[in-house]
């Protein structure tokens, strides 16, 4: 009995808990960027998914370059070394879009919806450019050790029916997400610029009266959002794979995460990321194998006991979005409404 | 550094349509309280906005210590020593009281700990609540945060737009006490007030505006004693 319980929990950990925690961390990093941009610039940036894709593309190119030089950081993925460069490139791109598109509309004091539509335009342009450079095919670029704990070895060692499997990319994602979020919160809470950012998000007119320079605050915000987007994109790509279309589609769960948590609230975006990820993974997991540990043979259902087939996973984000917007449009942490 | 007087001379102007200000003159003297009162639509807040530069008058000029600052933006006037407390949305609600004060000192490059101590002794409740988000405070406490934030620049002139709007009479009295203490630090205080009687009682100088013009200008006590002012503006 205890044996079965342990095995079933390991099964859930392998297929639900760890994947959802990893995916949730990736969504959280993306959603925090969306939420920061909204808090400071007051529009929903639809091009955020493309920032993630762009950062990942740069990381892939650099990974190939480093690999061709025979440059490998031991058991870690090469992409890890490329992160600083990818972040710089993505930040430069974000500042370029700010300079060439968003600043124009802001100076004309355009309504937020105009900026949203402009960001849709930026999204399509970047989307096309990225496909032009890197193609539309799936790219696997995770090298280094694949598993930190292997299912077979774990089974042999414990004698359980299921083996715990922990992939390196899962651990990397979670560790890097924790570090990035801790650094972000330290920055927002403790530094002069971080406090000015929060003040600007709280009350723009009063911030201007207090002498806060909006242009420098906006630039810092773009750089932070671009850095987080690059981390999110590269970690997602290492964990699964890179494909421009998949990153384009990631925009939906990322937005859902930001809205569930409360737009403009970084803590909310993180909580939202995990809510969306766990809902998606739990709704699309087939529980048949899990139930085998508890139900007698004759009670076993014939189907897979799967709420939704994985092709429909985006429906989960949509449902969450619709429910939140109907029931509590400000999200869990009382953010703004889009 | 001796505080400087601020004066808006013969101001004409409005928000694009008809003029709201029709030649009024208002000002603030160091170490004294000036109050602008008058009926609704008299241009009280508009006159204050013109002093800060949120509104560019069509005619007339704004002088700070004799220097013409009419061409400066609100931000530039703030860095010259003009502090402004808006009527509403005058704090950063998600920032703590202390962070609100820190943002008030954003432009200052020297240490501001000393000023913060002064503000804490002027408004003792703020020291008590320093770690609490300003949005969680009561209306009267929030007004004190707002005044404290403005004082962090060590201003020459403090402009207050209806500081007692929406607070209870008890809190209003307390706020006026605090404003008297601010005056004792040597700052020139100018405020727009709906509670005309109470405001004139603490005012060294009062401006009664009607249709954007000065109808009466005198000391607060003289205005309170004036039969016509009492009859027409103070309700008997």
How far B35 CA lies from chain A's nearest CA (Å)?
22
Q: What pTM was estimated for this model as a whole? A: 0.92
Angle (CA) B9 B10 B14, round 5°: 110
Helical H runs in A1-150?
A: 2-12, 18-41, 48-68, 79-97, 103-107, 112-134
In chain A, which residues have their Cβ closer than 8 Å to the Cβ of B103? Answer: 195-196, 199, 207, 210, 212
Locus of tokens 């959002």: A225
Q: Residue A212: how many CB atoms within 10 A of its CB? A: 21
| pLDDT at B123 (0 to 100) | 94
* Secondary structure letter of residue A295 according to DSSP: S
A36, A40, A190, A206: best mutation site toward chain B, by most B Cβ within 10 Å? A206
Cβ <8 Å between A203 and B84:
no
A212 close contact with B: CB closer than 8 A: yes
Cβ <8 Å between A199 and B79:
no
Query: pLDDT-based confidence at B39, cuts 50/70/90?
Result: confident
Alpha-carbon span A36 to A225, nearest angstrom: 7
B54 close contact with A: CB closer than 8 A: no
Give the number of A-B residue pairs with CB atoms closer than 8 Å: 55
Q: Tell me, rounded to whole angstroms, the distance of Cα A293 from its chain centroid.
A: 33
Which 3-state string (H, E, C) describes A138-193?
CECCCCCCCEEECHHHHHHHHCCCCCCCEEHHHHHHHHHHHHHHHHHHHHHHHCHH
ipTM of the complex as predicted: 0.90
Q: What is the pLDDT along chain A (338 residues), one digit of tens a residue?
A: 788 889 899 999 999 999 999 999 999 999 999 999 999 999 999 999 999 999 999 999 999 999 999 888 889 999 999 999 999 999 999 999 999 999 999 999 999 999 999 999 999 999 999 999 999 999 999 998 899 999 989 988 888 888 899 999 999 999 999 999 999 999 999 999 999 999 999 999 999 999 899 999 999 999 999 999 999 999 999 999 999 999 999 999 999 999 999 999 999 999 999 999 999 999 999 998 888 888 888 888 888 888 888 889 889 999 999 999 999 989 988 877 76
Alpha-carbon span A55 to A238, nearest angstrom: 13
Beta carbons within 8 Å of B181's beta carbon, 6+ residues apart: B122
B106 close contact with A: CB closer than 8 A: yes
How far B228 CA lies from chain A's nearest CA (Å)?
39
Mean of the pLDDT values across residues B128-137?
Answer: 95
Select from B78, B91, B106 the Cβ nearest to the Cβ of A196: B106
CA distances in angstroms from A129 to A30, A123, A136, listed in the order given: 21, 10, 11
Answer whether B135's CB lies under 8 Å from B93's CB: yes
Answer whether B157's CB lies under 8 Å from B6's CB: yes
Q: In this predicted model, what pLDDT tens digit does every residue of B176-211 receive, in sequence order?
A: 999 999 999 999 999 999 888 999 999 999 999 999
Residue B121 burial by CB count (10 A; 0-12/13-18/19+): exposed, middle or buried? exposed
Locus of tokens 């200008």: B217
In chain B, which residues have their Cβ closer than 8 Å to the Cβ of A212? Answer: 103, 106
B84 close contact with A: CB closer than 8 A: yes
Select from A201, A203, A211 the Cβ nearest to the Cβ of B89: A203
Alpha-carbon span A238 to A105, nearest angstrom: 36
B102 close contact with A: CB closer than 8 A: yes
B48, B78, B94: best mutation site toward chain A, by most A Cβ within 10 Å? B94
In chain A, which residues have their Cβ closer than 8 Å to the Cβ of B91? Answer: 203, 206
| pLDDT at B166 (0 to 100) | 83
B31 close contact with A: CB closer than 8 A: no
| pLDDT at B1 (0 to 100) | 47
CA distances in angstroms from A191 to A183, A198, B61, B105, listed in the order given: 11, 11, 40, 14
Question: Token digits for A286?
Answer: 């087939």
In chain B, which residues have their Cβ closer than 8 Å to the Cβ of A205? Answer: 86, 89
How far B130 CA lies from chain A's nearest CA (Å)?
15
B89, B97, B106, B112: best mutation site toward chain A, by most A Cβ within 10 Å? B106
Cβ <8 Å between A195 and B102:
yes
A197 close contact with B: CB closer than 8 A: no
Alpha-carbon span A108 to A104, nearest angstrom: 6
Alpha-carbon span A127 to A52, nearest angstrom: 11
B39 close contact with A: CB closer than 8 A: no
pLDDT at B2 over 60: no
A296 close contact with B: CB closer than 8 A: no
How far B108 CA lies from chain A's nearest CA (Å)?
9
How far A130 CA lies from chain B's nearest CA (Å)?
39
How far A211 CA lies from chain B's nearest CA (Å)?
6
Cβ <8 Å between A202 and B74:
no
A203 close contact with B: CB closer than 8 A: yes
Residue A207 burial by CB count (10 A; 0-12/13-18/19+): exposed, middle or buried? buried
Mean pLDDT of all residues in chain B? 91
Cβ <8 Å between B102 and A211:
no
Select from A198, A202, A209 the Cβ nearest to the Cβ of B78: A209
| pLDDT at A338 (0 to 100) | 65
Locus of tokens 């502090």: B83
Select from B78, B91, B93 the Cβ nearest to the Cβ of A211: B78
Alpha-carbon span A70 to A42, nearest angstrom: 45
Cβ <8 Å between B91 and A203:
yes
Select from B79, B92, B94 the Cβ nearest to the Cβ of A206: B92
| pLDDT at B233 (0 to 100) | 80
Cβ <8 Å between B106 and A212:
yes
How far A251 CA lies from chain B's nearest CA (Å)?
28
């Amino acid at each position: 009995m205890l044996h079965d319980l342990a095995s079933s929990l390991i099964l859930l950990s392998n297929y639900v808990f760890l994947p959802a925690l990893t995916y949730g961390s990736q969504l959280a990093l993306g959603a925090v960027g969306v939420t920061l941009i909204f808090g400071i610039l007051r529009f929903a940036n639809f091009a955020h998914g493309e920032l993630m894709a762009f950062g990942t593309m740069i990381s892939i190119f650099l990974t190939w370059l480093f690999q061709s030089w025979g440059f490998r950081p031991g058991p870690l993925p090469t992409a890890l070394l490329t992160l600083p460069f990818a972040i710089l490139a993505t930040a430069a791109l974000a500042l370029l879009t700010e300079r060439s598109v968003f600043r124009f509309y802001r100076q004309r004091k355009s309504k937020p919806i105009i900026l949203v539509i402009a960001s849709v335009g930026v999204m399509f342009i970047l989307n096309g450019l990225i496909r032009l450079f890197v193609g539309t095919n799936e790219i696997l670029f995770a090298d280094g050790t694949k598993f930190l704990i292997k299912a077979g070895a774990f089974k042999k060692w414990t004698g359980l029916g299921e083996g715990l499997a922990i992939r390196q990319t899962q651990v990397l994602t979670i560790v890097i997400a924790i570090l990035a979020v801790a650094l972000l919160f330290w920055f927002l809470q403790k530094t002069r610029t971080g406090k000015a950012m929060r003040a600007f998000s709280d009350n723009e007119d009063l911030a201007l009266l207090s002498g806060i320079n909006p242009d420098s605050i906006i630039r810092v915000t773009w750089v932070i959002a671009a850095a987080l987007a690059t981390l999110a994109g590269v970690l997602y790509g290492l964990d699964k794979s890179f494909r421009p279309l998949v990153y384009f589609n990631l925009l939906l769960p990322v937005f859902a995460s930001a809205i569930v948590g409360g737009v403009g609230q970084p803590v909310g975006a993180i909580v939202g990321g995990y809510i969306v990820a766990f809902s998606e993974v739990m709704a699309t997991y087939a529980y048949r194998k899990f139930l085998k540990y508890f139900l007698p043979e004759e009670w076993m259902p014939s189907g897979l006991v799967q709420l939704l087939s994985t092709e429909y996973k985006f429906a989960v984000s949509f449902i969450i979005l619709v429910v939140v917007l109907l029931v509590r449009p400000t999200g869990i942490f009382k953010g703004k409404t889009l | 550094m001796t505080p400087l007087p601020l004066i808006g001379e013969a101001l004409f102007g409005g928000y694009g349509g008809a003029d709201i200000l029709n030649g009024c003159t208002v000002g603030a003297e160091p170490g004294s309280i000036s109050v602008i009162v008058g009926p609704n639509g008299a241009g009280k807040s508009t006159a204050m906005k013109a002093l800060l530069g949120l509104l560019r008058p069509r005619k007339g000029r704004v002088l700070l210590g004799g220097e013409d600052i009419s061409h400066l933006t609100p931000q530039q006037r703030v860095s010259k020593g003009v502090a402004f407390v808006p009527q509403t949305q005058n704090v950063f609600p998600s920032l703590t009281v202390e962070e609100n004060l820190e943002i008030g000192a954003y432009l200052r490059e020297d240490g501001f700990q000393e000023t913060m101590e002064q503000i804490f002794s002027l408004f003792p409740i703020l020291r008590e609540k320093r770690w609490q988000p300003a949005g969680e405070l009561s209306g009267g406490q929030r007004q004190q945060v707002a005044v404290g934030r403005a004082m962090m620049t060590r201003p020459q002139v403090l402009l207050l737009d209806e500081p007692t709007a929406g607070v209870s009479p008890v809190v209003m009295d307390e706020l006026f006490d605090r404003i008297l203490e601010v005056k004792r630090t040597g700052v020139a205080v100018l405020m727009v007030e709906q509670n005309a009687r109470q405001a004139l009682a603490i005012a060294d100088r009062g401006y009664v505006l009607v249709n954007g013009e000065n109808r009466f200008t005198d000391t607060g006590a003289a205005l309170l004693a004036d039969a016509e002012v009492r009859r027409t503006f103070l309700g008997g």
